[in-house]
Amino acid sequence: MIWARVAFGRRSFHASAEPTDGGLVTTGPYRFIRHPIYAALLLFLAAGALSHVDLVSVLLLLVVGAGMAVRIAAEERLIIESYPEYTEYAARTKRLIPFVY
C-alpha cells in the first residue's frame, strides 16, 4: 500500500471516485495491477477474517469486497473518460491480483 501511495505521487486522498489530474500512473505497483491500494486493503481484511473466522468477519469481508467492486467499476468508467489510454493499460494489467484477476 505504501509503495502504491509513493508511486501515485502528491495526489491527495479523496472520497469521490473521480480521477485526479496529473496523468495516468502506470509505474511502481501499478505496472502489475490497476488497483494496488484496494488489493492491499482486501489482503488486510482477508487476513483478519481468516485469523478470526466467524460469521461477522466473513460477512464484513464480503460486504467490503462488494463495495470495493462497485467503487472500482465506477472509478474505471471515470478514468476511461479522462484517460483514453487506460483501455490499453487495462488490457495488459490485472485489477487486483497480478497475473490472475
Backbone angles phi, psi at 92, to 5 degrees: -105, -5
Residue with cell 488489493: 39
* pTM for this entry: 0.84
- pLDDT (tens place) for every residue of the chain, 101 residues total: 989 988 887 765 566 666 667 788 999 999 999 999 999 999 999 999 999 899 999 999 999 999 999 999 999 999 999 899 999 999 999 999 998 99
Rounded Cα distance, 23 and 46, in Å: 31
